[in-house]
Amino acid sequence: MNAALSITPMLFPLRLTPFEEYMLADNLPAYPMCCFIKVKLQGTFNADVFESAIRKTLEYHPLLTGSVTENSGKYYWEKANTAPTISRAPLDESRPFPPSKGIDLFNEPALKITICNADTATVALDGRTEIVFEIHHSASDAVGLLRFIEDTLCQYARTVGFVPETGSQPPGGCAEPSLLVRRGLPGRRHRSILQILTKQLHGLRRAWKFLMYRVAPLTAKKPADLQKLCEDYPAVLFRELSEPQTQSAVRKAKELGITLNELFLCSAFFAMKSWQNLPHGRNLRIAVPINLRTAADELMPAANIVSMVFLDRKPKDIQPVQAFYDGIHREMSHIKRYNLGWAMIRGLTVYRRLFGNYRKMMHPDRCWTTATVSNLGRVFTDTPLPKREGNVLVDHSLELLGVEAFPPVRSSTALGICLMTYAGRLTVNLHYDAAVLTQADAERILDTLVSHCDAHCR
């Protein structure tokens, strides 16, 4: 019997971790807590074979096939009654993504997939195919979804005979479903009592700042209805830097004594500050997802192994001077040094034990963060698939041209920004709230962000 198939029934029911439940509580009809990743392929593509590869790979990533049930105020993963939807649609140049209605985890699986090509043919010859993966953030973060996508591409390559089948390589990759029982738990580390207390104090200080500081939304405009999804959902834009531009950005960040991620965090602050006059006495705040994976999670299937930290700055302090860049660098270094990504997880765990669930803490009408800025780093760098000029080959005549990823946006947080580097090219992806921003608004913000970074790189 397939090992994954024999393990999966034993996993369920599986209680949601605090972060998973937090993502579930933060879901609104007008603001689905969904992430999107689009892969862009060029060449001969067989949709039937790809669907088969998806189904095979899902056996090793069971949370993507799950839905949620409630029992006595507690939430559990169960295997959904239906398989994740795989639909086909024509490529529509007028909108970058097919329309979505979000994902209702209580009634459907956590994953939806849309295969788009010119004529929705089973076999597309030498054309462009785009595949959109939509996932509820309760089931997995973007890193986990990328792991699933890579496993699916490898399975497709094996099925069409592009790469050989090997006895040591299971059909869905090397993911081990049994590891899901410990997702969201910190690994065991030997620390002194002083080290533990120091980390807890730093975490408490940041939690106090998060709760006490008043945060400015990007715009004073409010959505008309929190129960109605915008027709333009998801509203997304992206910009791709060439390989020389990307290398120049990396060099400039080093010259400033900061990382590329920190350079874009600074640029995001500048872009938000330049948008409009902000309320007096309020901070701009960026939520920064933190990948909590360690070497022990190498075989972990798609899941949430992530937390968030928050950077606050007063508008008057956002200036193109070295002190501003140094301040961002010091804070991010401090977060890494004291492993403060776990502070949010610990806080959510304590809150759930005290109050049962997170519904009362959501306050959808309150602005908790001005924007989210996520950096997925370099993607598909360690894939076993061959490459041509940096691009991954999935078949002799099928090439992965590019990848785009978009985080969710919540009420009063108008911007979700995601950075990633594929084949040496950095992409800046923007998911914006179309209920409060026009496309022209979003274009201006994205162009300001990219041009500010580019201005440093000349």
Q: What was the pLDDT predicted at 424? A: 96
pLDDT tens, residue by residue, 314-337: 888 999 899 999 999 999 999 998
User: Pseudo-torsion of CA 265, 266, 269, 273, nearest 10°?
Assistant: -160
The answer on pLDDT for 167 being more than 90 is no
pLDDT at 294 over 70: yes
Residue 201 confidence (pLDDT) above 90? no
Q: Name which residue leads in pLDDT, 346 or 233.
A: 233
- Strand pairing report for 306-313 and 398-406: unpaired
Give the pair of three-digit tokens for residue 20.
Answer: 């998973």
Question: Which residues, 6+ apart, have CB-to-CB distance to 119 below 8 Å?
Answer: 90
Domain boundaries, the chain: 3-180, 193-382+407-456
**Closest by Cα among 41, 143, 405, 65 to 49:** 41
Per-residue model confidence as pLDDT tens digits over 128-149: 999 999 999 999 999 999 999 9
d(Cα 205, Cα 201) in Å, to the nearest integer?
A: 6
- Predicted local distance difference test score (pLDDT) of residue 379: 97
Closest CA to 218 of 22, 417, 61: 417
Q: Residue 116: beta bridge partners?
A: 89, 130
Residue with tokens 């209605």: 101
Say which residue, 208 or 319, is predicted with more confidence. 319
Lowest mean pLDDT among 9-13, 279-283, 426-430: 279-283
- pLDDT beyond 80 at 196: no
**For residue 350, what pLDDT is reported?**
87
Residue 94 pLDDT > 90: no
CA dihedral 320, 322, 326, 328 (to 10 degrees): 0
For residues 404-424, average pLDDT: 96
With CA atoms as reference, report the closest residue to 290 among 118, 143, 424, 417. Answer: 143
Average pLDDT, the chain: 88
Assess whether the region 3-180 and the region 193-382+407-456 belong to the same CATH fold: yes
Domain boundaries 193-382+407-456, corresponding CATH code: 3.30.559.30
Convert 328-337 to b/e letters by CB count within 10 Å (16 or more is b): bbebbeebee
Cα-Cα end-to-end distance for the chain: 58
| Between 447 and 367, the higher pLDDT residue | 447
Mean pLDDT in residue range 94-108 = 91
The pLDDT assigned to 279 comes to 55
Give the per-residue pLDDT at 1: 38
| Strand, coil or helix: 290 | strand
pLDDT of residue 112: 98
Can you read off the two tokens belonging to residue 247?
A: 């290398």
* pLDDT, greater one: 73 or 174: 73
Burial class (CB in 10 A: 0-12, 13-18, 19+), 389: exposed
**pLDDT at 415 (0 to 100):** 97
234 phi and psi angles, rounded to 5 deg = -85, 140
Q: What is the pLDDT of residue 16?
A: 96
Tell me: pLDDT of 446 over 50.
yes
Q: Is the pLDDT of residue 449 over 90?
A: yes
Crossing angle of helices 243-256/439-456, nearest 10°? 60
**Beta-strand runs (E) in 214-298:** 235-240, 284-291
So what's the pLDDT on residue 172?
46
Highest mean pLDDT among 105-114, 159-168, 210-219, 332-341: 105-114
pLDDT of residue 6: 46
Please report which residue ranges of 338-419 form alpha helices under DSSP H.
341-355
Q: At the topology level of CATH, where does 3-180 sit?
A: Chloramphenicol Acetyltransferase (3.30.559)
The percentage of the chain sitting over the pLDDT mark of 70, rounded to a whole number, equals: 86
